[in-house]
Amino acid sequence: MVVISKAMQNVQNGKGKQPVASLHIRCAESLEDLDYLRPASVELHNESRFRDIPYSHKKRDNLFSQAIANPERYALVIAEFNRDPVGFIFCSAGEYIVGTDELLTTVFSFYVRKRYRQTMIGGKAAVRLLSTVIQWSKQRNVREILIHVTSGIDIERTDKFLRRANFKVTGANYSFSLNRNNQSQT
């Protein structure tokens, strides 16, 4: 026998307060999740310093689908609020390029959508996405997590956030434009 409280009965009957929506963090589980994240991944591309490069849904799908096909080595972590994607992290666990027996997690994409970024929901999403990747990495006995910040989006805020999360600066990203299209880089 299921016992339902009076308050819950009122909500189910359309009376009383509706349950407060909550932030939900989960790993992608199916190809439908790729479609679900499509708007957010396009926003990331369009906001990034690489926005002049043609975007390929097929290439993105091939990359992200690795998290579904091989969840032991790839993760696509999704933050959602009211069934709307707030942000995501795509990462992999693999060996150092010339090393063996030690895994490193590499975060390739860490994105919180612009409309959420300076809200409490966006802040909580960023913290919980990162916490989830840390837990995912610990479960795989990973030695270290590496996050590459190359999008050009809110670099100073990203640096401040990662330092507060106890990540250490271990180098920097540099680029050299060859201006093949005579476009200036941002």
Summarize pLDDT for 25-58 with one digit per residue, the tens: 999 999 999 999 999 999 999 999 999 999 999 9
pLDDT in tens, 110-132: 999 999 999 999 999 999 999 99
Q: What pLDDT score was predicted for residue 173?
A: 87
The answer to whether 133 and 91 are in contact (CB under 8 A) is: yes
Taking 70 as the threshold, does the pLDDT of residue 183 lie above it?
no
Q: What pLDDT score was predicted for residue 181?
A: 64
What is the rounded distance in angstroms from the CA atom of residue 104 to the CA atom of residue 43? 28
Taking 70 as the threshold, does the pLDDT of residue 9 lie above it?
no
The answer to whether 170 and 149 are in contact (CB under 8 A) is: no
Domains observed in the chain: 21-164 (3.40.630.30)
**pLDDT, the chain, mean:** 88
pLDDT in tens, 69-82: 999 999 999 999 99
Share of the chain above pLDDT 70, in %: 85
Strands 103-112 and 144-147: parallel
pLDDT in tens, 136-155: 999 999 999 999 999 999 99
Q: What pLDDT score was predicted for residue 2?
A: 33
What is the rounded distance in angstroms from the CA atom of residue 80 to the CA atom of residue 164? 23
Query: Hey, what are 54's tokens?
Result: 């043609």
pTM of the model: 0.84
